[in-house]
């Protein structure tokens, strides 16, 4: 899982989707799936998904099982073929969570 997170971060940086400025507290407090009402998809990956999984790894907590995030990104990035390599990593993360 850790290797896949590194790969995901590298791809977000490669595609200039990695941010140095954290979203506002109100943007981060969304109750919607993927924070669709307050964050861009890549922001959710960086500031919610990656941070939470890394935190769980660091604290030795069991990682979540049975999630699928790739279908959401396939839909929102369906007109962005350049992001396919990111989606492939997300599919690997989904497979790892089975």
The length of the chain is: 98
Report mean pLDDT in 10-residue bins for the chain, 98 residues. Answer: 95 97 94 94 97 94 93 97 98 93
What pLDDT shows up at residue 1? 86
Cα–Cα distance, 31 to 36 (Å, whole number): 9
Cα–Cα distance, 12 to 45 (Å, whole number): 9
Sign of CA dihedral 24, 6, 14, 37: negative
């Amino acid at each position: 899982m850790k290797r896949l997170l590194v790969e995901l971060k590298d791809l977000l940086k490669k595609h200039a989707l990695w941010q140095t400025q954290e979203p506002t507290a109100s943007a981060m407090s969304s109750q919607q799936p993927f924070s669709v009402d307050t964050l861009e998809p890549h922001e959710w990956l960086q500031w919610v998904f990656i941070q939470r999984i890394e935190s769980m790894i660091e604290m030795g907590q069991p990682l979540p099982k049975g999630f699928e995030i790739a279908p959401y990104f396939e839909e929102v990035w369906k007109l962005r073929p350049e992001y396919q390599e990111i989606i492939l990593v997300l599919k690997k993360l989904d497979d790892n969570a089975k």
